[in-house]
Amino acid sequence: MESSRDKHSIKKLSINQEGASLFAAILIALFALFALSGLYFALTKLLSSSHTIKTYASVRDAAAGGVNHAVMLLQGKSITDDYCPQNNPLILKFRLAETSGVYENKINICFMSYVTPTGFEVLGVAYTKEIPGEKGNIYTIISEAIGPQDTRSRIEAVYAR
């Protein structure tokens, strides 16, 4: 009886699991890769706010939004003093509420002069105030939004940084 037990032991009847664990590891790695690529796609394409086209109520609001965008660029100091795209303005796309179509807002940001002490006149600008702390620069911002049926709104602003 002892000899028949040796022939049919559990070890002899079990199936070899080494190949199945390798297959399972490769399958888990593929699922993790798909999950990470889906997360990357969602973060870069679906949730990117820098490439969205803003919607405004009127062309005038779009022009004001262009000035706000230019001020944010100047505050972030991503505009240098020698930047003045006369022939190549910044172009922002926008939509209008309750209309279809995408329209353009052309923005020119030009360095005009350095901030001067109080009482001195700057060419093309009213009298300036002295800025406390660091002395800055003066920029002109021209935002021209072109809407449906060639409606236009132009806002000119002066910004001291």
- What local confidence, expressed as pLDDT, does residue 103 receive? 92
Indicate the burial class of 107 (C-beta count within 10 angstroms; 0-12, 13-18, 19 or more). Answer: buried
Quote the pTM value.
0.57
pLDDT at 131 over 50: no
- List, as one string, the DSSP characters of the chain: -HHHHHHT-HHHHSPP-HHHHHHHHHHHHHHHHHHHHHHHHIIIIIS-STTPPEEESSHHHHHHHHHHHHHHHHHTT-S-TT---SSS-EEEEEEETT--S-EEEEEEEEEEEE---TTPPPTTS-PPPPPSSS--EEEEEEEEEE-GGG-EEEEEEEEE-
- Mean pLDDT throughout 130-155? 80
- Mean pLDDT throughout 130-139? 61
Banded pLDDT at 127 (limits 50, 70, 90): very low
pLDDT at 6 over 80: no
* Whole-number Å distance between alpha carbons of 107 and 141: 7
Banded pLDDT at 144 (limits 50, 70, 90): very high
Higher pLDDT residue, 31 or 22? 31
Higher pLDDT residue, 68 or 119? 68
Banded pLDDT at 59 (limits 50, 70, 90): very high
pLDDT at 124 over 70: no
Banded pLDDT at 140 (limits 50, 70, 90): confident
* % the chain with pLDDT above 90: 25
